[in-house]
């Protein structure tokens, strides 16, 4: 897998410190760093940090000591780390420092389809754009070299189609990089008060000028035979791979000048000159924003700014083929009329504790406002149990903002129930909670603690005290954190225990509305069932639908459990025995009492 190739590359290049926060499509980099470092006996510090900003700063300090360091995150994670990113460009690095920022054109599993290459441009650091897993690994090597040569952070920007592509990739032995930590004090640089920054900015600009003149990082040219003069194609990233394969198939490889840009920023200077001087029609194929296109600044360029390439969405090979046919004036290949049906939407797993919590919240507060956040529990949307999902940790501040907006009016206050997962709470929820308490907001915060980062592959969270490599860490408990944030009412309950859970919600609501009220927290605790151990440990109740089922579908709509389905013949609901985990939550849903759960017969 591309992410494994990247992880392998980091180990082979002797990286000493590596930090990450999980997020699709970058999540598999860290596990592969753990695996390959252990397999090859390469000693590294590897951590799942609580968020991307923290990951960035931990690794950056490692680089200050002369060691090689790297971070990996998804594109929106880089937004979180953008503060240390932009300043680290000015101050520079010592040991090679590589940022892996994985973009998600489409997007498939992200809240934006932003282009991290443009963020590299904004921060003024070089960025590599791999077109295959194999090349991604090779670029890790080049990125470390470039970073050390110019003492500058360097980004490698794979996209989903690189991260989650598999390819046969050759493996090398890790380099033996013996470097003792040595932090050379240099206050003008590492403290860099405003007085010094203008000079540091000048040095940064000069570095970028020199990098743009490095032919080693310039585009790779595949020259045509001259039959298509004054025209060329420029591509980068996976779009290059699509274009290469299609041009080969069309018989145009070797006919038209075709360039692969490997470093989209800073764009190689002599390349820009050559394009301006040599061509009247230049097709630029890149994802997702016009980064190369903007640097070329030429009317000859056909791309995203003049409608040649769609301005949004993934650049699929089907789209690339259409664009190439148009550019090369070829009769379009006959295509099937493309109107594929929509697939099935994702849903929470059978027995998921989030479903139990959401059901209770929705039933208890039918008129509530439900800010929520990013994780599996975003699927609470299907149950109409969440109303917002913005960015990591935003739900708590949104809860506060909703409160202040309604409170001004002095009218009836809807109960605001904020839901956030344990990993997201650690990531960016804590400062938001401190602020909400301090600003006297009143809402109910339900922390959906399933003891893991489920959506991205069940990475451990800090309260478990298990580190990325499986070693022991110091657990940091959510209840301690919540109390330290100043929350006075904290309750803990397993959402499988619906009666008690509802009682906790009601108690919290009374507290919020009482004279001394404030933010109330309910810790909804039940392990994620993707954890096989947790699944085995819990009781399995036999569940059946009785003849009383009227086929009203209330259970299907309000619970959306994959194990409940409508039997088309009988028009009654049936239990899909192979999916049902016997949690028994559906018993509480059926208005006619037609779902029988034998709690005495637990297995």
Site residues (CB under 8 A) for another protein?
1, 24-25, 27-28, 108-109, 131-132, 161-162, 164-168, 238, 241-242, 244-246, 248, 316-318, 321, 335-336, 338, 340-349, 376, 378-379, 455-456, 562, 578
* DSSP secondary structure letter of residue 218: S
Closer by beta carbon to another protein, 342 or else 603: 342
Closer by beta carbon to another protein, 10 or else 352: 352
Task: State in angstroms the smallest separation of the CB of 109 from another protein.
Answer: 3
CB-based contacts of 196: which residues, under 8 Å, 6+ apart? 188, 189
Q: What is the rounded distance in angstroms from the CA atom of residue 135 to the CA atom of residue 132?
A: 5
* DSSP secondary structure letter of residue 578: T
Task: State in angstroms the smallest separation of the CB of 457 from another protein.
Answer: 8
Of 39, 38, 33, the closest CA to residue 7 belongs to 33
Task: State in angstroms the smallest separation of the CB of 36 from another protein.
Answer: 18
Closer by beta carbon to another protein, 343 or else 600: 343
Euclidean distance between the first and the last CA atom of the chain, given in angstroms as a whole number: 39
Q: Which residue has the tokens 């404030």?
A: 518
Q: Which residue has the tokens 């975003």?
A: 378
Task: State in angstroms the smallest separation of the CB of 251 from another protein.
Answer: 15
- List phi, psi (to 5°) of 479: -65, -35
Task: State in angstroms the smallest separation of the CB of 137 from another protein.
Answer: 15
Task: State in angstroms the smallest separation of the CB of 4 from another protein.
Answer: 12
Closer by beta carbon to another protein, 336 or else 603: 336
DSSP 304-349: GGGTSS-SSS---HHHHHHHHHHHTT-PPPP-----PPP-PPP-PP
Buried b (16+ CB within 10 A) or exposed e, 503-532: ebbeebbebbeeeebbbbbbbbbbbbbeee
Closer by beta carbon to another protein, 316 or else 572: 316
Residue 542 belongs to what H/E stretch? none
Closer by beta carbon to another protein, 102 or else 481: 102
Of 28, 24, 23, 21, the closest CA to residue 51 belongs to 21
Task: State in angstroms the smallest separation of the CB of 549 from another protein.
Answer: 23
Task: State in angstroms the smallest separation of the CB of 577 from another protein.
Answer: 10
- Token pair for residue 501? 């859970």
Task: State in angstroms the smallest separation of the CB of 392 from another protein.
Answer: 15
Closer by beta carbon to another protein, 166 or else 305: 166
Closer by beta carbon to another protein, 167 or else 298: 167
CA angle 502, 504, 509 (to 5 degrees): 95
Of 400, 470, 396, 381, the closest CA to residue 426 belongs to 396
Closer by beta carbon to another protein, 245 or else 507: 245
């Amino acid at each position: 897998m591309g992410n494994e190739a990247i992880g392998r590359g980091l180990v082979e290049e002797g990286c000493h410190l590596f930090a990450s926060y999980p997020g699709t499509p970058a999540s598999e980099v860290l596990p592969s760093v753990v695996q390959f470092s252990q397999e090859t006996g390469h000693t590294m510090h590897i951590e799942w940090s609580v968020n991307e900003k923290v990951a960035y700063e931990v690794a950056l300090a490692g680089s200050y000591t002369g060691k090689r360091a790297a971070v990996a995150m998804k594109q929106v994670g880089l937004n979180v780390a953008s503060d240390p990113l932009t300043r680290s460009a000015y101050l520079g690095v010592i040991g090679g420092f590589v940022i892996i920022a994985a973009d998600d054109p489409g997007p498939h599993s992200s809240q934006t389809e932003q282009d991290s290459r443009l963020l590299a441009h904004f921060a003024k650091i070089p960025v590599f754009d791999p077109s295959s897993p194999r090349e991604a690994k090779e670029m890790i090597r080049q990125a470390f070299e470039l970073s050390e040569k110019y003492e500058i952070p360097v980004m490698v920007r794979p996209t989903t189609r690189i991260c989650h592509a598999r390819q046969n990739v050759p493996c090398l032995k890790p380099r033996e990089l013996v470097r003792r930590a040595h932090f050379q004090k240099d206050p003008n640089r590492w403290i860099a008060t405003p007085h010094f920054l203008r000079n540091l900015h000048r040095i940064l600009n000069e570095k970028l000028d020199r990098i743009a003149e490095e032919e080693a990082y310039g585009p790779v040219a595949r020259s045509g035979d001259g039959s298509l003069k004054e025209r060329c194609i420029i591509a980068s990233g996976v779009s290059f791979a699509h274009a290469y394969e299609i041009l080969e198939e069309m018989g145009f490889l070797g006919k038209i000048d075709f360039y692969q840009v490997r470093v989209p920023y800073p764009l190689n200077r002599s390349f820009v000159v050559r394009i301006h001087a040599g061509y009247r029609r230049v097709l630029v194929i890149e994802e997702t924003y016009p980064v190369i296109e903007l640097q070329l600044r030429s009317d000859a360029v056909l791309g995203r700014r003049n409608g040649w390439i769609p301005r949004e969405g993934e650049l699929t090979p089907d789209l690339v083929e259409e664009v190439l046919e148009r550019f090369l004036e070829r009769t379009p290949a006959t295509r099937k009329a493309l109107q594929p049906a929509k697939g099935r939407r994702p849903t929470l797993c059978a027995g998921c504790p989030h479903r139990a919590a959401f059901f209770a919240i929705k039933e208890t507060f039918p008129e509530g406002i439900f800010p929520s956040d990013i994780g599996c529990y975003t699927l609470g949307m299907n149950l109409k149990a969440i109303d917002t999902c913005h960015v990591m940790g935003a739900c708590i501040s949104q809860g506060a903002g909703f409160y202040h907006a309604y409170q001004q009016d002095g009218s009836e206050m809807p109960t605001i129930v904020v839901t956030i997962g344990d990993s997201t709470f650690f990531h960016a929820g804590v400062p938001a909670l401190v602020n909400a308490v301090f600003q006297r907001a009143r809402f109910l915060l339900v922390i959906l603690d399933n003891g893991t980062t489920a959506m991205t592959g069940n990475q451990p969270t800090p309260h478990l005290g298990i580190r990325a490599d499986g070693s022991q860490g110091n657990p940091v408990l959510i209840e301690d954190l919540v109390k330290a944030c100043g929350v006075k009412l904290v309750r803990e309950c397993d959402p499988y225990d619906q009666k008690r859970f509802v009682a906790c919600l009601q108690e919290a609501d009374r507290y919020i509305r009482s004279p001394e009220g404030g933010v109330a927290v309910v810790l909804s605790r039940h392990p994620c069932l993707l954890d096989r151990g947790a699944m085995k440990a819990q009781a399995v109740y036999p569940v059946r639908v009785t003849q009383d089922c009227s086929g009203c579908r209330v259970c299907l709509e309000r619970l959306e459990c994959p194990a409940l389905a409508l039997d088309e013949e009988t028009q009654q609901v049936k239990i899909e025995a192979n999916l049902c985990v016997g949690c028994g939550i559906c018993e509480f849903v059926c208005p006619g009492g037609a779902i029988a759960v034998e709690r005495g017969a637990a297995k």
